[in-house]
């Protein structure tokens, strides 16, 4: 049994950023990593994936992007290298190849017992930084997929070569779903995209990257406690964006232009037939209206005087078929693969602390877990602000949470979020 | 978005939002079962009574028993004592979407002056007559048109209508498959 002040679970961007913040405060800690630094970036990503955020927004605390292409988008190996270089630069105390099997309240103290496949740790505080995308979310309708059809998720898909022969049904119109439908269609496959609620965004607007706008206007700084219905906001799909050299926009319109058949949300798969919602027209209408509100906000902000912007040009409203397909007979249409791009959720299967709600979601306030003092979470969707969803959000989140954690250790702060609100 | 602090559409959105938060803490109370009973009268004419339902962990009751009737029109060689059930479905869709428009408008501070909707459902009756095995029994297409007079921009009103569809139970029931079990006791 090893005694340490803080255990950080996971050596991704969040865990490493927190490690640096603790080192700055001379707080003794270890970072436990089941694989190696940036493990999921090395193993759980499709081949062509790049970050949605430009490089200049993907810096870490004390480690700004210093490469030659600040407006570019890192590939997964580049993210892994970036995080690996960071771990070395900050000399993070990472224990690689150590899998956490349990985190539970300590029996004799106010702290936690962290059990791993390489011994146990006793700690006063634990930071869950194992990532927001540990498990691919599969909707219940996935149970109806007939045998003989290959089911992949956005975590197991690698490239069009990894698909079975025949057509492909991509489920979900998030960044992942839109990118995969785009890539698979470009590889010459027949692709049907089942689109539920989604977020439409142009890659660039008025000559600037969409993330430049969201940063400048303050969208990324909207806090979890300022957003109406934060639980819902945390479950909104990622925006339809792709990081590419040509900075192209991927959306329902571009996908249809590339031959993708766009249908409504999957309602059921039964007897080899996939049934789709008849509500597609409203789904795309909602996304168009929401995009218009966002761009109106950008334009209003730009009125305050911003140099070098081009004229506002809005995309046409999204057009879908007048009568989108409602049923797809998978065998008759020779669909060989279904790719589920239906979101992710964090894996807390090893968390033996009663802090999950009835849906298995961690109850936290901006990363502070009031029900279990000394327990923190980082790196999940909209943790403390919109920026938290992206790598660049770890800088501010780690600073604020480390400050709270240090106060907790010193007995200065109550174990509530109030101290950092 | 234009907002009117004094908008009063007669919807208690504070209670609804309060219920949303409370039911998240007690999700079993959110499980409702709606109920209608029906009795054949004669021919294609029947009468449905709606009074009881369950929800919030208990039996619930409308302020009184409501009665609907269904029949077929004279062109179906019936007596036309009441709307055709498919028309009642269209009416239910209009009722659900309209309630949604009012609730969303209230929540967004938009004062409504009038909300009118027309619902049309295209139906190839060869399906129900068994005249063509390739024709479905149900609607082939449903169109809803809203005419809304409100203190809001065109975009505000479009967003109201879009949001009401997003949160409509009847819209969902008509656009998505639902398992239906029919038993005989």
Question: Could you report the per-residue pLDDT of B30-61, keeping only the tens digit for each?
Answer: 999 999 999 999 999 999 999 999 999 999 99
pLDDT confidence bin for B25, thresholds 50/70/90:
confident
Predicted structure pTM score: 0.92
Q: Is residue A325 located within the same domain as residue A304?
A: yes
Cβ–Cβ contact B176 with A under 8 A: yes
**Can you give the pLDDT at residue A418?**
46
Residues of A with CB below 8 A from B171's CB?
279, 282
Q: Is residue A42 located within the same domain as residue A130?
A: yes
Q: Is residue A318 located within the same domain as residue A397?
A: no
Tell me how far the alpha carbon of residue A282 is from its chain's centroid. 25
Across the interface, which of A267, A270, A282 has its CB nearest the CB of B166?
A282
pLDDT confidence bin for A414, thresholds 50/70/90:
low
pLDDT confidence bin for B24, thresholds 50/70/90:
confident
**Can you give the pLDDT at residue A53?**
97
Q: Average of pLDDT values for A317-346?
A: 96
CB contact under 8 A, B174 and A278: yes
Q: Is residue A286 located within the same domain as residue A314?
A: yes
Q: Is residue A80 located within the same domain as residue A30?
A: yes
Range of the domain at A319: 138-340
Identify the H or E element spanning A62.
none
Q: Is residue A237 located within the same domain as residue A157?
A: yes
Q: How far is A324 from chain B (nearest CA, A)?
A: 11
Residue A356, pLDDT > 50, answer yes
Return d(Cα B17, Cα B9) in angstroms, integer.
16
Q: Is residue A313 located within the same domain as residue A375?
A: no
| A-B C-beta contacts closer than 8 Å | 41
Across the interface, which of B141, B155, B165 has its CB nearest the CB of A279?
B165
Are the CB atoms for A345 and A377 separated by under 8 Å? no
Q: Residues A32, A34, A39, A42: what is their CA dihedral angle, to the nearest 10 degrees?
A: 160
A288 contacts: CB under 8 Å, gap ≥ 6: A200, A317, A318
Cβ–Cβ contact A279 with B under 8 A: yes
Identify the H or E element spanning A294.
helix A280-302
- The hierarchical CATH code for the domain B84-176 is 3.30.300.20
Q: Average of pLDDT values for A46-62?
A: 97
What is the dihedral sign for C-alpha A14, A20, A23, A24? Answer: negative
| CATH code for the domain of A227 | 3.50.50.60
CB contact under 8 A, A323 and B172: no
Pairing state of beta strands A273-276 and A327-329? antiparallel
Return d(Cα A280, Cα A302) in angstroms, integer.
33
Domain end call among A340, A369, A384: A340
**Can you give the pLDDT at residue B5?**
56
Q: Is residue A267 located within the same domain as residue A393?
A: no
- The torsion angles phi and psi of A88, rounded to 5 degrees, stand at -70, -40
CB contact under 8 A, B176 and A278: yes
ipTM: 0.84
Q: Is residue A143 located within the same domain as residue A288?
A: yes
Q: Is residue A169 located within the same domain as residue A228?
A: yes
Q: Is residue A61 located within the same domain as residue A158?
A: no
Identify the H or E element spanning A233.
helix A230-233
Q: Is residue A185 located within the same domain as residue A279?
A: yes
CB contact under 8 A, A289 and B166: no
Q: How far is A65 from chain B (nearest CA, A)?
A: 38
Residues 286-345, chain A, touching B (beta carbon < 8 A): 286, 289, 292-293, 323
Residues 146-165, chain B, touching A (beta carbon < 8 A): 155, 158-159, 162-163, 165
Q: How far is B70 from chain A (nearest CA, A)?
A: 26
CB contact under 8 A, B163 and A286: yes
Cβ–Cβ contact A265 with B under 8 A: yes
pLDDT confidence bin for A95, thresholds 50/70/90:
very high
Cβ–Cβ contact A270 with B under 8 A: yes
Quick: pLDDT tens for B132-165. 988 999 999 999 999 999 999 999 999 999 999 9
Domain end call among A314, A340, A366: A340
Quote the DSSP letter at residue A146: P
CA angle A418, A420, A421 (to 5 degrees): 65
Domain end call among A285, A314, A340: A340
**Could you give the number of structural domains in chain A?**
2
Give the up-direction half-sphere exposure of residue A83: CA atoms within 13 A in the CB hemisphere: 27
CB contact under 8 A, A289 and B171: no
Q: Which regions of chain B carry the CATH code 3.30.300.20?
A: 84-176
Give SS3 for A181.
Answer: helix
CB atoms within 10 A of CB A60: 24
Q: Which residue in B has a C-alpha nearest to residue A292's C-alpha?
A: B155
Return d(Cα A200, Cα A290) in angstroms, integer.
8
Are the CB atoms for A353 and A363 separated by under 8 Å? no
Are the CB atoms for A99 and A117 separated by under 8 Å? yes
Return d(Cα B174, Cα B3) in angstroms, integer.
32
């Amino acid at each position: 049994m090893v005694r340490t002040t803080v255990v950080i679970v996971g050596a991704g961007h969040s865990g490493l950023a927190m490690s640096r913040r603790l080192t700055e405060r001379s707080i003794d800690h270890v970072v436990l990593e089941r694989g190696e630094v940036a493990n999921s970036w090395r193993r759980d990503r499709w081949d062509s994936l790049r970050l949605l955020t430009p490089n200049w927004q993907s810096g870490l605390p004390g480690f700004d992007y210093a490469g030659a292409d600040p407006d570019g988008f890192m590939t997964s190996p580049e993210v892994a290298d970036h995080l690996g270089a960071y771990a070395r630069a900050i000399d993070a105390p990472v224990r690689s190849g150590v899998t956490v099997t349990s985190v539970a309240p300590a029996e004799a103290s106010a702290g936690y017992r962290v059990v791993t496949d390489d011994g146990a740790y006793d700690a006063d505080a634990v930071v869950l930084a194992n990532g927001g995308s540990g498990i691919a979310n599969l909707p219940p309708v996935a149970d109806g997929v007939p045998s003989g059809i290959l089911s992949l998720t956005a975590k197991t898909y690698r490239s069009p070569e990894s698909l079975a022969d025949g057509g492909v049904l991509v489920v979900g119109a998030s960044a992942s779903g839109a990118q995969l439908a785009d890539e698979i269609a470009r590889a010459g496959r027949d692709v049907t995209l089942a689109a539920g609620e989604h977020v439409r965004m142009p890659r660039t607007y008025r000559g600037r990257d969409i993330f430049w706008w969201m940063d400048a206007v303050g969208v990324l700084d909207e806090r979890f406690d300022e957003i109406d219905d934060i639980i819902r906001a945390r479950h909104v799909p990622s925006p339809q964006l792709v990081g590419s050299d040509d900075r192209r926009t991927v959306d329902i319109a571009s996908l249809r232009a590339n031959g993708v058949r766009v249908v409504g949300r999957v309602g059921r798969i039964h007897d080899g037939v996939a049934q789709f919602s008849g509500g597609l027209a409203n789904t795309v209408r909602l996304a168009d209206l929401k995009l218009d509100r966002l761009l109106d906000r950008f334009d209003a902000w730009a009125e305050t005087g911003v140099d070098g912007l081009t004229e506002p040009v809005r995309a046409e409203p999204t057009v879908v078929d007048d009568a989108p397909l409602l049923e797809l007979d998978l065998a008759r249409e020779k669909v060989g693969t279904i790719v589920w791009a239906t979101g992710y959720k964090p894996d807390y299967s090893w968390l033996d602390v009663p802090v999950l709600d009835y849906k298995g979601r961690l109850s936290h306030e901006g990363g502070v877990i009031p029900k279990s003092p000394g327990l923190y979470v980082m790196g999940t969707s909209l943790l403390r602000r919109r920026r938290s969803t992206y790598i660049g959000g770890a800088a501010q989140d780690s600073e604020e949470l480390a400050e709270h954690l240090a106060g907790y250790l010193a007995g200065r702060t109550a174990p509530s979020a109030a101290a950092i609100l | 978005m234009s907002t009117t602090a004094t908008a009063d559409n007669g919807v208690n959105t504070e209670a609804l939002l309060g219920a949303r938060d409370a039911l998240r803490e007690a999700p079993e109370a959110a499980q409702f079962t709606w109920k209608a009973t029906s009795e054949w009268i004669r021919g294609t004419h029947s009468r449905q009574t709606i009074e009881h339902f369950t929800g919030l962990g208990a039996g619930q009751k409308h302020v009184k028993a409501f009665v609907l009737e269904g029949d077929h029109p004279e062109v179906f060689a019936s007596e036309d004592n009441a709307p055709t059930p498919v028309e009642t479905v269209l009416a239910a869709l209009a009722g659900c979407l309209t309630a949604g428009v009012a609730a969303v408008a209230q929540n967004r501070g938009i004062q409504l002056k009038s909300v009118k909707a027309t619902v049309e459902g295209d139906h190839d009756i060869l399906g129900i007559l068994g005249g063509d095995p390739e024709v479905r029994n149900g609607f082939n297409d449903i169109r809803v048109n809203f005419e809304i007079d409100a203190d809001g921009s065109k975009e505000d009103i479009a967003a109201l209508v879009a949001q009401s569809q997003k949160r409509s139970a009847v819209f969902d029931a008509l656009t998505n498959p639902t398992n239906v079990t029919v038993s005989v006791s």
